[in-house]
Amino acid sequence: MIPALDEEGNIGDVVRALHAERIEQVIVVDNGSTDGTAHEAESAGAVVISEPRKGYGSACAAGTEAALEAGAGIVVYIDADQSSRPNEIGTLIDPIANDQADLVLGSRTLGAIADGAMGSHQRVGNIVSAGLMRLLYRIEVTDLGPYRAIRAGLIRDLDMTEMTFGWPTEMMVKTARADARIVEVPVSWDVRQEGESKVGGTVKGSILAGFHILRVTLRHSAPKFGAPKSGAPKSGAPKS
């Protein structure tokens, strides 16, 4: 599923490239775009949902609900701007299909970041957030990237409530809280092909994203913070 806001010129290529992969359905959630995003996505063969409630999380929630209703076993999230590569989707799906993971995170830190694809504030933000997650949730993560796959049963159980840029963080910390298995795989990160960045490339978007990531990380941390269980399961460890 693809959250999209004004991604004309990008969305059609992403949808077509995904259709060449091992997937059943591409869902694009158009979040009030004023350009031809919805039409372009539909022409490329995507199921297009229009979500009037603003917010990255609102779009992700609406798309997830549609995917679950359509009977998805695994839901994969990918950005609309061609920064992530559709042909790498197999590396995200395989650990779940092989029952080695419940949430698979595409790590750009472990993969290859193209020149100019990520600002230094985003790199620093990622290091800080990942460090906090290691400290507060005992999960070994290196990135908070948007390209990820989750088992349908798990996302259903997570009871996601963050309708902001905090959605991806909420998914990670709630998965850790549920002691479900988190696996990271390397993914590439390319420069956005068309249009303008609304998040990491803008001051407002960066501040908002940083605020929500930090807020959500701290919000769910209380039970374990300061009182780590000895022998607490780490990411990837089976439920005890």
Q: Which is nearer to ligand GDP, 32 or 236 (CB)?
A: 32
Residue numbers at the binding site for Mg ion (CB under 5 A): 81, 83, 192
CB of 102 to ligand GDP, least distance (A): 24
Nearest-angstrom CA–CA distance, 213 and 205: 12
For ligand GDP, the closer of residues 95 and 125 by Cβ is 125
3-state secondary structure of 99: coil
Nearest 5°: the CA angle 169, 163, 56 is 80
CB 28 within 8 A of CB 15: yes
Q: Would you say 83 or 142 has its CB closer to ligand GDP?
A: 83
Q: Which does 55 bind (CB under 5 to 8 A by kind): Mg ion, ligand GDP, none?
A: ligand GDP
Which span (86-94, 97-105, 179-187, 192-200) binds ligand GDP, by CB under 6 A? Answer: 192-200
Residue 29 token pair: 């959630």
- CA nearest neighbour of 214 among 105, 119, 136: 136
With binding defined as CB under 6 A, does residue 143 bind ligand GDP?
no
* Choices 134-142, 167-175, 196-204, 211-219 (CB under 6 A): range interacting with ligand GDP: 196-204
Among 47, 199, 208, 214, binds ligand GDP (CB under 6 A): 199
Q: What tokens were used for 139?
A: 């999960």
Residues in the chain: 240
Name the residue among 208, 129, 116, 111 with its Cα closest to residue 163: 208
Shortest distance, position 80 Cβ to Mg ion, whole Å: 8
The footprint of ligand GDP on this chain (CB under 6 A) covers a number of residues equal to: 20
Q: Which of residues 15-34 bind ligand GDP (CB under 6 A)?
A: 29, 31
| DSSP per-residue codes, 172-227 | HHHHHHTT--EEEEE--B----SS--SSTTSHHHHHHHHHHHHHHHHHTTTTTTT-
Residues forming the site for ligand GDP (CB under 6 A) = 3-5, 7, 29, 31, 54-56, 59, 79-81, 83, 192, 197-201
